Chains A and B, each alone.
Chain A
């Protein structure tokens, strides 16, 4: 199994540009998440989804949008990129339910610089 796959791995954007970070999982997990990790810091939740068609805001949603049209895919959209969005972005997925919440599985991350 590939697990959680993120593309691209690296990207440099100019201020004001837009882009979509892709995330796909093949584990049939119901929950998916987007985090950002700033240097030397922990992870902050941007958005999450409990299933196809259902998304909700996390701790730091401003400047981002998500959609979840299928169980497998959970893209993160950056509109009008700002330097403050320079970070490493991680996508994760997990199975939640039945009293057996599994640990989140993480992708390899996307390193994004806004210049």
Chain B
């Protein structure tokens, strides 16, 4: 069974500073997805990482995947208030085609 651990679970960020969210998973996976959820809202897809070494960037967010280490990171550059949300990583198990295992989420609060 694929297990996913996100760290930290809560992250208080100061505007303008850089931070990283870590996503470790337990079994082989070569695809991983990152989602964002605003309070009381649905989930929005941020990144799809499809292979070892994949790196995707969108604005102040950059995600990477190391399948050998079973680790994905979401890096936030120069945090701004609009990035306050909960971020989920979700790897797809190599024997679980089309099925994602969601982490518990990292709640991000950005303050001035």
Contact = CB atoms under 8 A, between A and B. Distances in A.
Contact of A103 (B42, B48, B97, B105): B48
Given A103-B45, A106-B42, A108-B42, A42 B97 contact: no
Given A43-B88, A45-B99, A96-B97, A101 B104 contact: no
Say what secondary structure dominates the interface of chain B: strand
Contacts of A109: 42
Interface string B81-107: 000000010001000011110111100
Interface in A44-101: 44-45, 48, 50, 58, 90, 92, 94, 96, 101
A42 B88 contact: yes
Interface in B42-66: 42-45, 48
B99 A106 contact: no
Residues of A in contact with B, size category: 20 to 34
A90 B42 contact: yes
Given A42-B88, A45-B100, A103-B45, 4 more contacts: A43-B88, A45-B99, A101-B97, A104-B100
14 contacts: A31-B98, A33-B99, A41-B104, A41-B105, A42-B102, A43-B88, A48-B98, A50-B98, A90-B42, A92-B43, A101-B97, A103-B45, A104-B45, A108-B41
